[in-house]
């Protein structure tokens, strides 16, 4: 087993990992030994979270060295995936078998296990979080035992979005669907007040819809509509109230960034995995030099929440690269930010200046408080544990589950203490 100097920061570089030991096991057997011997341990995925959730006061382990297996069960429409694999590593292989995932996040660089651990999502009012595709998982628990959990087990909905607190996930079983083609079109300059009456219709105008604004003027800078290729161009463009114009060339959601790093637009159909993410796997996604925050709230609160944000738009704009608004269908996972409610997500890509950004994050939390916002677990937020507990009624059950698999608290860290009170 290799012990190496691990990556000393997360992807964004805003978190310096304090874990004194870094392990890179090449097999599940080696991983079991690391976990069994460690006093404290956490798994690091691809490090794309913007907070300290993947850090550990003891050992930090990467599973990127485990065999990158992808086993498709065509008859059952399932795929078994090694936890360390990224969506970019999985998608092409899955597509060659004629299968697809229903949805992807804005970037394919993130690990499957790390994404599912936080309730990571894309957009689409009928599309659930990526975690909702998990039909089974294999976990190395605190004593080094291997446990298999499947959909149908009583506590399974508690184990999927686990924030790294139950053990080391070594394999996931994901539901798949037949491969499909998507085309995406970008529109520009939709006035924000159009959303007052037409938010739901616009969000329903494609398979996956993202609205972008920089909050510097009362309009969407861009509207990305990803449609199933078989459905043709979105009907919305013909609506009399639809005041946006089609972008004449490819766009990047962050003003000034090169569109070559983005997936193909202008209505050209292509495979699901080359259209559902905004960013291509071979480039740095988004701005690269950034921080991120995101809140999910009940979908029905989208318009009042937009007005609440508009009240503080100048404060937001001063530290913002871009804001993205998406929709996520409800799932049944205990700690999923979209758990039990169809949700709207307000995402903020910030300038990389934590001191300037944090007061605005607190301001956003105050503005959105009436809507019970659930922060993205992997991004920057300041919501205290007591408030989070009020927004997840199954949290006590999750803590019981964590005590069951990890009685001594080996998988605890500063993040779980701060956010879960454990
Ligand atoms: C540019 C950019 C764009 C993004 N876009 C989106 C988006 O579109 N939608 C969205 O929802 N989020 C988005 N995110 C956030 C990101 O998807 C999540 O933070 C995700 O959890 C990161 O996955 P990771 O593999 O990097 O996990 P890490 O950040 O490495 O880890 C996340 C958590 O999972 C745990 N973990 C990881 N692997 C395992 C394992 N095998 N077993 C046990 N625990 C494990 C870690 O301990 C940690 O607690 C974006 C992030 C970036 C940087």
* Residue 188 CA, ligand 1 centroid: distance in Å: 30
Q: How far is the CA of 53 from the centre of ligand 1 (A)?
A: 9
Distance between CA atoms of residues 70 and 179, nearest Å: 16
Cβ-count burial 335-345 (b if 16+ within 10 Å, e if not) = bbbbbebbbbb
**Angle at CA of residue 119, ends 269 and 279, nearest 5°:** 35
Diameter over CA atoms, the chain: 66
Q: How far is the CA of 277 from the centre of ligand 1 (A)?
A: 15
Give the pLDDT confidence of 230-263 residue by residue, as tens digits: 998 888 877 877 888 999 999 999 988 999 999 9
Q: Distance (Å, rounded) from C-alpha 232 to C-alpha 242?
A: 18
Consecutive 10-residue averages of pLDDT for the chain (422 residues): 72 96 97 98 98 98 96 98 96 97 97 98 98 98 98 97 98 98 96 95 96 97 96 82 89 93 96 97 83 98 98 98 98 98 98 97 98 98 96 98 98 98 88
Dihedral, CA of residue 221, residue 214, residue 331 and residue 394, to nearest 10 = -170
Q: Return the exposure string of 368-378: e unless at least 16 CB atoms fall within 10 Å of the residue's CB, then b.
A: beebebbbbbb
Ligand 1 pocket member 291 (CB < 6 A): no
Of the candidates 344, 357, 342, the one whose C-alpha atom is nearest the C-alpha of residue 308 is 344
Gap between the Cα atoms of 369 and 309, Å rounded? 11
Determine whether the shortest distance from the Cβ of 163 to ligand 1 is under 6 A: yes
The CA-atom distances, in angstroms, between 137 and each of 31, 63, 162, 187, 393 are 16, 15, 12, 40, 23
What does the alpha-carbon distance between residue 270 and residue 255 come to, in Å, rounded to a whole number? 25
Under 8 Å between Cβ of 281 and 358:
no
Give the distance (Å) from ligand 1 centre to CA of residue 235. 34
Which residues, in sequence order, are bridge partners of residue 139?
Answer: 147, 169
Q: Is the CB of 110 under 6 A from ligand 1?
A: yes
Ligand 1 pocket check for 44: Cβ under 6 Å = yes
- Ligand 1 lined by 293 (C-beta under 6 Å): no
Nearest ligand 1 atom to alpha carbon 130: 11
């Amino acid at each position: 087993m290799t012990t190496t100097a691990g990556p000393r920061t997360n992807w964004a570089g805003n978190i310096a990992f304090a874990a004194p030991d870094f392990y890179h096991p090449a097999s599940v057997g080696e991983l079991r030994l690391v976990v069994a011997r460690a006093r404290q341990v956490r798994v690091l995925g691809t490090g794309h979270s913007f907070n300290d959730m993947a850090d550990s006061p003891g050992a930090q382990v990467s599973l990127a060295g485990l065999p990158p297996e992808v086993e498709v069960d065509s008859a059952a429409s399932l795929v078994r995936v090694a936890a360390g694999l990224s969506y970019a590593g999985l998608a092409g292989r899955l597509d060659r078998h004629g299968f697809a995932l229903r949805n992807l996040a804005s970037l394919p660089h993130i690990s499957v296990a790390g994404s599912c651990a936080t309730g990571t999502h894309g957009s689409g009012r009928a599309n659930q979080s990526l975690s909702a595709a998990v039909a089974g998982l294999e976990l190395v628990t605190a004593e080094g035992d291997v446990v298999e959990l499947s959909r149908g087990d009583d506590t399974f909905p508690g184990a999927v979005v686990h924030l790294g607190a139950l053990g080391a996930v070594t394999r996931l079983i994901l539901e798949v669907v037949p491969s499909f083609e998507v085309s995406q079109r970008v529109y520009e300059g939709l006035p924000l007040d159009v959303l007052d009456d037409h938010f739901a219709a616009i969000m329903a105008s494609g398979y996956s819809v993202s609205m972008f604004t920089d909050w510097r003027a009362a309009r969407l800078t861009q509207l990305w509509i990803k449609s199933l290729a078989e459905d043709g161009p979105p009907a919305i463009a013909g609506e009399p109230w639809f005041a946006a114009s089609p972008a004449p060339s490819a766009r990047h959601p962050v003003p000034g960034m090169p569109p070559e790093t983005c997936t193909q637009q202008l209505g050209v159909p292509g495979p699901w995995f080359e259209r559902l993410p905004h960013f291509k796997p071979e480039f740095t996604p988004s701005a690269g030099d950034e921080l991120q925050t995101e809140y999910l709230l009940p979908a029905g609160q989208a318009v009042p929440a937009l007005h609440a944000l508009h009240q503080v738009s100048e404060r937001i704009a001063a530290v913002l690269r871009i804001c993205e608004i998406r929709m996520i269908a409800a799932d049944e996972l205990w700690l999923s930010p979209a758990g039990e409610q169809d949700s709207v997500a307000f995402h903020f890509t910030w300038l990389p200046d934590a001191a300037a950004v944090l007061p605005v994050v607190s301001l956003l939390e105050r503005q959105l408080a009436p809507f019970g916002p659930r922060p993205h677990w992997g991004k920057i937020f300041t919501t205290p544990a007591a408030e989070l507990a009020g927004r997840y009624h199954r949290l006590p059950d999750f803590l019981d589950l964590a005590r069951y698999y990890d009685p001594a608290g080996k998988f605890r860290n500063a993040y779980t203490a701060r956010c879960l009170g454990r």
